[in-house]
């Protein structure tokens, strides 16, 4: 016998799941166009999609949010817009916050983090705004549910973004949880020097596809190799992780399982290595090997301990492909002089042994493009507060 739908479930369906919502995809500066193209390629039921300050906006149903979180490779976070209103003082803010149907978005026992940003607004004290918003949520939930507990559990944290510009308040829910660059694959060892979203963007800038071999000769944490393996096998970057929307009262587990099942059916596996990761540091290669052991895509990656300057690409593959670098510049290596020295050594090696290959290399200064003896393009991006450049071309 089919379970009877409650009045509360009907409210959720009427006001949340059956309505198209507005979503904002936060993107690292420099990657917005890539993310926009990714979104357009997905099978979303959006009415509109546009590039805006800080990312990409689109309208769609809740399951489109599931799909985007699962598949987007260059996005940082996806927010669902809840409401916006005018408020120039705390009295108005309190009234508006209390009128938001928080029960449709939050469970009685919830862990909250209120993130506030203000600009050109009479409400400018972020700490005070955060307290008023959390207090209003607690009052509303307490009036609806018998027991309500708002706490702080990092594993099940719901971030609510409050943005105030010119006294206009926008309330948004984080649907992602941990930042989307976290694929939940390399969980047992050191932090990668390059975020997965940036590595994926770099591969896209270089025109990487599953049909060409990839050499990652200074692999360190293996981020380039891992992202190329996910691309080559058509594995969704969010396949191995959870998302904040899974804790929402409106979450439809059956619908998400359908999306997941379809995504798994579209994965293309191969037992023939076409991604060659190496590093002269045995600790890095050993850790990387352990991290990906047991994953279906791992057979695509050949991991060896060796020095880039001491092997030839034809010993790995008879096809021309892409060779990528994130050399240990700056804080990881030392002085600017040392950075330039290793950069010039790489260029010399490419010129001698990689003719016909595409290359991509991350550099700390745009002027280094002038030292490349081949035609190359430059793509700026931010990483850890630093402005870096990805140079790519053909030898």
Least confident of 162-176, 250-264, 284-298: 284-298
- Parallel, antiparallel, or unpaired for β 55-60 and 21-27? antiparallel
Q: Which CATH superfamily is domain 196-233+268-394 in?
A: Vaccinia Virus protein VP39 (3.40.50.150)
Convert the pLDDT of each residue in 110-121 to its tens digit.
899 999 999 999
In this prediction, residue 331 carries a pLDDT of 47
Query: Quick one: pLDDT band at residue 327, thresholds 50, 70, 90?
Result: confident
Confidence of residue 340 (pLDDT cuts 50, 70, 90): confident
The 10s digit of each residue's pLDDT in 190-249 is 555 789 999 999 999 999 999 999 999 999 999 999 999 999 999 999 999 999 999 999
Q: Are 69 and 175 in contact (CB under 8 A)?
A: yes
Task: Give the domain ranges of the chain.
Answer: 8-174, 196-233+268-394
- CB-CB contact of 73 with 182 (8 Å): no
pLDDT tens for 357-387 read: 999 999 988 888 999 999 999 999 888 777 8
Q: Tell me the pTM.
A: 0.94
**Helix segments in the chain, DSSP class H:** 7-12, 32-41, 62-71, 90-99, 126-144, 196-205, 223-232, 253-265, 282-292, 330-333, 336-353
User: What is the C-alpha separation between 346 and 11, in angstroms, rounded?
Assistant: 61
CB-count burial class (<10 Å; 0-12, 13-18, 19+) for 49: middle
| pLDDT average, residue stretch 297-314 | 96
Cα–Cα distance between 75 and 60 in angstroms, integer?
17
| The two domains 8-174 and 196-233+268-394 share their CATH topology (first three levels equal) | no
The pLDDT score that the predictor gives to residue 47 is: 81
CATH classification code of 8-174: 3.30.2130.30
Neighbour count for residue 199 (Cβ, 10 Å): 28
Helix segments in 100-209, DSSP class H: 126-144, 196-205
- Using one digit for the tens of pLDDT, what is the confidence trace for 54-76? 999 999 999 999 999 999 999 99
Q: Examine the pLDDT at 126 and tell me if it is beyond 90.
A: yes
Q: Provide the pLDDT for residue 366.
A: 85
Strand order in the sheet with 214-216: 301-305, 275-279, 214-216, 322-325, 358-363, 386-394, 376-383
């Amino acid at each position: 016998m089919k379970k009877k739908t409650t009045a509360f479930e009907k409210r959720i369906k009427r006001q949340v799941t059956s309505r198209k919502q507005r979503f904002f995809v936060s993107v690292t500066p420099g990657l917005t166009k890539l993310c926009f193209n990714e979104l357009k390629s997905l099978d979303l039921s959006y009415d509109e999609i546009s590039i805006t300050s800080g990312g990409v906006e689109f309208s769609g149903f809740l399951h489109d949010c599931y799909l985007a979180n699962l598949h987007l490779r260059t996005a940082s976070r996806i927010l669902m817009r809840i409401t916006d209103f005018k408020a120039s003082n705390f009295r108005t803010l309190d009234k508006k916050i209390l009128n938001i149907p928080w029960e449709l978005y939050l469970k009685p026992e919830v862990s909250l983090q209120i993130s506030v940003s203000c600009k050109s607004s009479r409400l400018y004290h972020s700490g005070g705004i955060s307290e008023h918003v959390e207090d209003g949520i607690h009052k509303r939930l307490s009036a609806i549910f018998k027991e309500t507990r708002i706490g702080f559990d990092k594993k099940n944290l719901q971030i609510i973004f409050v943005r105030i510009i010119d006294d206009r308040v926008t309330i948004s829910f984080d649907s992602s949880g941990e930042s989307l660059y976290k694929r939940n694959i390399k969980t047992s060892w050191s932090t990668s020097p390059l975020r997965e979203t940036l590595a994926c963007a770099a591969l896209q800038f270089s025109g990487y596809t599953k049909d060409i071999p990839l050499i990652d000769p200074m692999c360190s944490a293996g981020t380039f190799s891992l992202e190329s393996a996910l691309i080559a096998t058509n594995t969704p970057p969010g396949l191995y992780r959870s998302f904040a929307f899974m804790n929402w009262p409106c979450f439809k587990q059956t619908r998400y399982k359908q999306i997941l099942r379809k995504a798994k059916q579209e994965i293309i596996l191969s037992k023939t290595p076409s991604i060659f990761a190496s590093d002269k540091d045995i600790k890095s290669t050993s850790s990387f090997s352990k991290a990906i052991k047991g994953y279906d895509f791992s057979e695509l990656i050949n991991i060896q301990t060796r020095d880039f300057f001491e092997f030839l690409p034809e010993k790995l593959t008879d096809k021309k492909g892409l060779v990528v670098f994130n050399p240990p510049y700056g804080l990881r290596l030392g002085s600017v002089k040392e950075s330039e020295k290793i950069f010039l050594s790489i260029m010399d090696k490419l010129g001698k042994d990689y003719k016909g290959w595409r290359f991509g290399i991350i550099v700390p200064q745009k002027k280094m493009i002038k030292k490349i003896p081949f035609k190359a393009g430059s793509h700026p991006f931010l990483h850890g507060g630093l402005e870096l450049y990805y140079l790519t071309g053909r030898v």
